[in-house]
Amino acid sequence: MKVIILAAGIGSRLGHNIPKALVKLDSKTTILQSQINSLKKYVNISELIIVIGYKKELIKQRHKDFNFAVNRNYASTNTSKSLLKGLEMIDNQQDIIYMNGDVIFDPEIIQLILNNRDINQICVNNEKVSEEEVKYSLDEIGNIKCLSKEVKEPLGEAVGINYINREYLAEFINCLKLCEDKDYHEKAVEFAIEKGIKFSPLNIESRFCIEVDFKEDLAKATKIWKQVNND
């Protein structure tokens, strides 16, 4: 099992002038550290690959013990190409969890994924969504049908944590290569669906998972993080 965190972006909407992954939730814990803390409860953290780009040395200095992939074109590409950089570091015989580098999440979500490793999984919720979120819809048998910001009549948000079974990884990599530079990694899932690959929605239900894009998101994430860690 490999885990890839996509932390190459600038995160300009927060205005901190550092990688978003290094924005703090409390006096000691960055967004990235919160992800590591949640992951290590269930997976071997030595299998983690962090994709970096913007001010990459700041992340390397703070997290010296991890493996890094570098997206040197972070300013002109999006998460599809960052994920491809991470996957270039591993062979195709691995199960993969990958996630955006700006999500604060309940570690139990990782356990939910591991409960059924035979199928590809897209973590979702059923909350009301705005224009900014990646949304999803389902086909007639309950698999993911559409996955993007433009989904009509969405059922909720795709929260940015996904799983690919090793059987489908090589073809998924090919789908990432089909993506345009500015495509999100969800576009590769849509390409894979067109090729007949199935993705099951994993509803995280009441478990918290917050994508930090704006200052309001950071305030909400910080509050929840402190509550669950009794700070």
Domain residue ranges in the chain: 2-224
Read off the pTM. 0.95
Tokens at residue 225, please? 């993080």
CA dist 189 and 197 (Å) reads 9
Give residue 83's region: left, alpha or beta (phi > 0; psi -120 to 50).
alpha
First to last CA, the chain: 32
Residue 231 reports pLDDT greater than 60: no
Q: What is the pLDDT of residues 53-81, one digit of tens each?
A: 999 999 999 988 899 999 999 999 999 99
Q: What is the pLDDT of residues 167-195, one digit of tens each?
A: 999 999 999 999 999 999 999 999 999 99
Please check whether the domain covering 2-224 is classified as CATH 3.30.70.270: no
CB contact set of 218 (below 8 Å; sequence gap of 6+): 14, 23, 212
Query: What is the pLDDT averaged over residues 112-139?
Result: 94
CA dist 102 and 92 (Å) reads 26
